[in-house]
Structure 1
Amino acid sequence: MKKFFELSSWSRKAAIGSIQRVIASTKCVAISLVLVAFLAACDDSSSASAENSEPAALSSAEKQGRSSSSSVSSAGSETLSSSSRCAGASEECDEAISSDSNAGSNGSSRSSSSEKKTESSSSEKLSEASSSSAGKVDCSTFLELEKKHDKWNWYVPKECRFNPDIDYGSMTDSRDGQVYRTVKIGSQVWMAENLNYAYTGVKFNYRDDNSDKDYSSDSSSWCYLNVLGNCAGTGRLYTWAAAIDSVKLANDAENPLDCGYGKNCSLPARVQGICPEGWHLPTAAEWDTLFTTVGGKSTAGNILKSQTGWCCDANGDDAYGFSALPVGFRHQSGYFDHFRDHAYFWSGDATLLVEKAGSMSLIAKDEYAHRSGSYKFFAYSVRCVKDSE
């Protein structure tokens, strides 16, 4: 009987001990759950805090980029998208640049305008005014990203493309109020950037003799990839007829001239063309004067190129501030070619061939400056030179 009571007492103690262990275990589980919930709440709170602080930082950077922005043309300016927050040059900017399909590949870039008619939220660009000072923008961060990816960075403010050691002048185009930087090189005063005057409303037609296609456009000037914001950084591309303003020449009351594609005419010694009042298209002789001033045609290519934007480690030294950008050209059938490895400019000269006109070109990894004849239906950049006093 005594053993029975002892056994019963032991059994009760064992049962109580088991119950206590279960309770203790349950408490541990409960405490653990509370801790997990607490940590999760903390994590959510910190994440929310980070998310709330990031736009504030980006907004600050955005303001820096926007402080140098103005309307591109009378056609209006682009709206800044969330991708333009890359003005802060953060990792977000890094990713945006590396994935930007509009920037073109290394070397020659060929893109069809029919594939990229409108700008997307990932390809909207900052528009900068020529009158902005380079000191207002931290150019180094933008340019470091461009160098890292070896591709054109549309987020680089235009003022960062100029030589910071050059004392530039400026002029205002009275037709649309755009301000351009100018530079004196020897006895000549040149625009230090490509013309961006919107020459529109003139029908451009071209028939390819090797196919059944007719190409047409309601304009004779274009922005790269047909994205309006791109004109702010690189200027417009013009057919030769647009560059010489063939409509104005044809309507001249005293000496009407029928010029343009397929036509040969005796142009005056100075052709204002599409340039602002007091400026004109450079002639072949004026290009040669420029080459001579900077040391000769054999080295002028490197000297006239901008210090940024060229592919293949082919940036120039831009010693005189001409700052030629590798904009390439627009083909008559609508695609854009040689972006980042060529710069093409029209001359105010006709040639003996009715389908060609005078031009000047610079090529990546080539120190020469080239003058030649180019098909008039190509769309090239325009640099205006100031009328002599």
Structure 2
Amino acid sequence: MALVFAVFTACDSGSSSADPDLIAEVSNSSGDDENLSSSSVTDKGTSSGRSSKSSSSISGKNSSSSVNSGSDTSSSDEGSSVKSSSSSLDPCKEEYEGREKISLDENRQRVEFVCHDGFWIPLPKSSLSEISSSSYYDMSKQYNENIKYGEFTDPRDGKVYRTITYEDKPVKATYVIMASNLNYGEMVPVDSATNADGVVEKFCYNDDPWYCDNGFGGLYSWSEAMGFHRACDTLFLGASADCPDVFDSLSTRIQHQGICPDGWHVLNEFEWRGLPATGFGSFQMLSKLFMGKDQVGFSALLGGGYLRGKYKSMGVYGEYWLPAERGNKALYAQTTLLDEYEVVFRDSEQKPCKLPIRCVMNYSVD
């Protein structure tokens, strides 16, 4: 069975990842959609971007039925026929039992699979809708139990965040970074956003507060995350009276507070690249919840976002706003994107999309 894995990352059909002038620098390969697809051909598989969660990663009251839904399909007459021809199926690792993925076949048609008894078994199109949406991820797997975390309490709302600390010896700086996404602001359903200045509006995946409150954090438009006027989602900074805001610096090392607490700023590109694990690909940065090694406790989650007019890509990729515009397109801002296999340090996305941010404590460079 010829399969090509795909990752879709744009807010609409005008995906910034495909723009020829974008400099997408990655840890293992280039960051355009074509290379993201080809680099993902592996037996790992990619969880689907549906609202229902990967059954091997969930622990809710209906999580066992989620696994059974995949097993039942493979035990049907059609499933047994497919399963008996195991030589034509791709193998999957034992620890992926019950996990699902989305692939494209040789005709570029979407195919959904579940890992069952050592093989990726095709699922009927109706099976995913049968998986209970009341099941959630088992967040006891979010952090690396072998890491000694610090702790920070946001004085604005009392929320407590774990932190990691490491030294960046080349620039003689000490970084203290939140080990989960920021969860600050007033939650609103995505179709009820007022974009009111002076009020930080956050969105929660599927309009479900569970995601905001359990490590995935809030999702924000770019202007909201940066603390700018909402007009800046469609205009260059400082382009008009509607968007008078500007950064203090255009450097990749800018320490821009945005909606982070006082004394903290939005994790910038330079700091992303300085994480000790980034040189080894996303596997070292990902939370164990998403099969990562989580080498330094950064515990990145593949939380998707609000893209193309809907919540999508939960379990497929994580994308984070950077304090930087696209440069030649007012509608776009820069992001860092990671999936199971690689990190794209300088990707971009449409500013009105809703994505998370990480915060890092301000520091001085000796």
* TM-score for both structures, normalised by structure 2: 0.55
Aligned counterpart in structure 2 of residue 95 of structure 1, from 49, 57, 65: 65
- CA deviations 1:110-154 (Å, max 9, x no partner) are xxxxxxxxxxxx756xxxxxxxxxxxxxxxxxxxxxxxxxxxx51
1:242 aligns with 2:224: yes
Aligned counterpart in structure 1 of residue 233 of structure 2, from 260, 276, 289: 260
Cα displacement (A) at 1:329: 1.4
- CA deviations 1:230-273 (Å, max 9, x no partner) are 211211111101110114xx9xxxxxxx7333233441232111
Give the aligned residue type for 2:255: R
Report the number of matched residues.
226
Give, in whole Å, the separation in 2 of the partners of 1:369 and 1:354: 21
Provide the residue aligned with 1:378 in structure 2: 353
Give, in whole Å, the separation in 1 of the partners of 2:326 and 2:345: 16
Give the aligned residue type for 1:161: Q
Provide the residue aligned with 1:271 in structure 2: 256
CA contact (8 A) 1:362 1:368 kept: yes
Provide the residue aligned with 2:183 in structure 1: 196
Structure 1 stretches of 4+ with a deviation exceeding 4 A read 89-93, 96-100
Give, in whole Å, the separation in 2 of the partners of 1:92 and 1:154: 9
CA contact (8 A) 1:267 1:350 kept: no
1:285 aligns with 2:270: yes
Which structure shows the higher helix fraction?
A: 1
Aligned counterpart in structure 1 of residue 193 of structure 2, from 198, 217, 238: 217
Aligned counterpart in structure 2 of residue 331 of structure 1, from 294, 303, 307: 307
Provide the residue aligned with 2:335 in structure 1: 359
Give, in whole Å, the separation in 2 of the partners of 1:185 and 1:173: 21
| Structure ID, larger Rg | 1
Within a 5 Å distance, the mapping from 1:86-235 to structure 2 comes to: 94-95=64-65, 106-107=101-102, 154=136, 156=138, 158-186=139-167, 187-199=174-186, 217-218=193-194, 220-233=201-214, 234-235=216-217
Give, in whole Å, the separation in 1 of the partners of 2:222 and 2:317: 18
Change (3 A) 1:194 1:324: same
Provide the residue aligned with 2:5 in structure 1: none
**Secondary structure of 1:229 counterpart:** helix
Give, in whole Å, the separation in 2 of the partners of 1:192 and 1:277: 17
CA contact (8 A) 2:267 2:357 kept: no
Cα displacement (A) at 1:198: 2.0
Give the aligned residue type for 2:264: W
**Secondary structure of 2:224 counterpart:** helix
Give, in whole Å, the separation in 1 of the partners of 2:223 and 2:184: 14
CA contact (8 A) 1:304 1:320 kept: yes
Provide the residue aligned with 2:94 in structure 1: none
Give the aligned residue type for 2:355: Y
Give, in whole Å, the separation in 1 of the partners of 2:267 and 2:234: 19
Change (3 A) 1:337 1:263: same
Give the aligned residue type for 2:265: H
User: What's the % identity of the aligned pairs?
Assistant: 29
Cα displacement (A) at 1:192: 0.3
Give the aligned residue type for 2:149: Y
Cα displacement (A) at 1:218: 3.1
Change (3 A) 1:305 1:90: closer
Give, in whole Å, the separation in 2 of the partners of 1:196 and 1:98: 34
Cα displacement (A) at 1:367: 3.1
Change (3 A) 1:183 1:94: same
Give, in whole Å, the separation in 1 of the partners of 2:187 and 2:208: 15
Give, in whole Å, the separation in 1 of the partners of 2:165 and 2:258: 21
Give, in whole Å, the separation in 1 of the partners of 2:317 and 2:226: 22
Provide the residue aligned with 2:295 in structure 1: 319
- Name the Cα RMSD after superposition: 3.1
* TM-score for both structures, normalised by structure 1: 0.52
**Secondary structure of 1:379 counterpart:** coil
Give, in whole Å, the separation in 2 of the partners of 1:223 and 1:321: 23
Give, in whole Å, the separation in 2 of the partners of 1:235 and 1:277: 18
Q: Which has the higher contact order (CA 8 A, sep 6+)?
A: 2
Change (3 A) 1:379 1:98: farther
Aligned counterpart in structure 2 of residue 347 of structure 1, from 296, 304, 322: 322
Give, in whole Å, the separation in 1 of the partners of 2:150 and 2:346: 27
Change (3 A) 1:231 1:105: farther
